[in-house]
């Protein structure tokens, strides 16, 4: 079982730990540098990205996480976590920084200014199919991905090499990019840890397993 950390400075840490366990990983909270260095993958949860930015620096975790991102560790950022993985952000305070790594521009608080949470339809075939390939999962049935948005960002622009995994359908904001993958980095504007749909975590745990397998193979070959 791969060990996947959940950055535990703020936000819905417990829900992610539970979703990772259900997806076949060992989920551990991460608050210290040594913990950043010990995990096979990391989840940056939703919360408030400006607060998390400050805490990351106060706890001296930004540098160690950026080092591991540069070395290819899989990281999944949800909502505020998506903002923290973005290379560029708009509608953010001038002094707000991100960890970066994912070649995209993200707009903060793009959805749901008026309401705390809401749901929209999505076109997300790869994520919807994730249950089929995850070990011991329910199996994919192509049912629509269930997702909750809470004052969520969206992706305004992506660089080359960024794969769009989900766009919104229907409603006033149709066609907005709300999930992307760039190599080992995965980001969703929504909260898959809420609402009981395990497929995004299954998708991410598979990314972590694939990466761990590739690293082991490299060691054998050299
Ligand atoms: N609006 C928040 C931010 O900018 C994100 C909200 C969330 O993570 N649910 O950080």
Contacts of residue 12, defined as CB under 8 A and 6 or more positions apart, other chains included, come to 45, 46, 47, 191, 193, 194
DSSP 68-127: HHHTT--EEEETHHHHHHEEEEESS-TT------EEEEEETT-S-SSSS-B--EEE-HHH
Looking at the predicted complex, does its ipTM rise above 0.90? yes
| Residue ranges at the known binding site for L-glutamine | 47-49, 108, 150-151
Tokens 């390939």 -> residue: 133
135 alpha carbon – ligand 1 mean position (Å): 31
Determine the Cα–Cα distance for residues 87 and 159; give it in Å rounded to an integer: 10
pLDDT tops 50 at residue 170: yes
What is the predicted pLDDT for the residue at 139? Answer: 46
- Under the banding of pLDDT at 50, 70 and 90, the label for residue 135 is very low
Mean pLDDT of 191-202: 91
Q: Which of 16, 79, 123, 201 is catalytic?
A: 79
Contacts of residue 135, defined as CB under 8 A and 6 or more positions apart, other chains included, come to 24
Fold of 3-221: Rossmann fold (3.40.50)
| Phi, psi (rounded to 5 degrees) for 133 | -95, -15
Measured from CB, residues less than 6 Å from any atom of ligand 1 are: 46-49, 79-80, 83, 108-109, 150-151
- Give the number of residues written for the chain: 222
The 10s digit of each residue's pLDDT in 1-18 is 999 999 999 999 999 999
Determine the Cα–Cα distance for residues 13 and 48; give it in Å rounded to an integer: 13
For the question of residue 191 being annotated catalytic, the response is: yes
pLDDT tops 80 at residue 131: no
The 10s digit of each residue's pLDDT in 59-90 is 999 999 999 999 999 999 999 999 999 999 99
Q: Is the pTM of this model over 0.80?
A: yes
34 alpha carbon – ligand 1 mean position (Å): 27
Closest CA to 189 of 220, 168, 161, 163: 168
Q: Which of 16, 123, 182, 191 is catalytic?
A: 191
204 alpha carbon – ligand 1 mean position (Å): 21
Q: Is 25 helix (H, G, I), strand (E, B) or coil?
A: coil
For the question of residue 79 being annotated catalytic, the response is: yes
What is the predicted pLDDT for the residue at 113? Answer: 58
What is the predicted pLDDT for the residue at 116? Answer: 52
Task: Point out the ligand 1 atom lying closest to the alpha carbon of residue 81.
Answer: 8
Contacts of residue 122, defined as CB under 8 A and 6 or more positions apart, other chains included, come to 144, 145, 147, 166, 167, 168, 169, 178, 179
């Amino acid at each position: 079982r791969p060990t996947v950390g959940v950055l535990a400075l703020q936000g819905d840490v417990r829900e992610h730990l539970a979703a990772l366990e259900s997806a076949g990983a060992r989920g551990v909270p991460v608050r210290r540098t040594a913990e950043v260095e010990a995990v096979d993958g990391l989840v940056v949860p939703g919360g408030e990205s400006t607060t998390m930015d400050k805490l990351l620096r106060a706890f001296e975790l930004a540098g160690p996480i950026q080092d591991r991102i540069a070395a290819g560790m899989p990281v999944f950022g949800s909502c505020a976590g998506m903002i923290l993985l973005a290379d560029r952000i708009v509608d953010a305070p001038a002094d707000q920084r991100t960890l970066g790594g994912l070649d995209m521009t993200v707009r903060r608080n793009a959805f749901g200014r008026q309401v705390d949470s809401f749901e929209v339809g999505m076109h997300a075939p790869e994520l919807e199919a994730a249950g089929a390939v995850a070990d011991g999962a329910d199996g994919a049935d192509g049912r629509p991905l269930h997702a909750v948005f809470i004052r969520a960002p969206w992706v305004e622009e992506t660089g080359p090499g960024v794969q769009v995994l989900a766009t919104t359908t229907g409603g006033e904001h149709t066609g907005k990019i709300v999930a992307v993958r760039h190599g080992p980095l995965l980001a969703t504007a929504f909260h898959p840890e809420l609402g009981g749909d395990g497929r995004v975590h299954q998708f991410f745990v598979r990314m972590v397993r694939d990466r761990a397998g590739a690293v082991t193979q490299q060691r054998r070959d050299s």
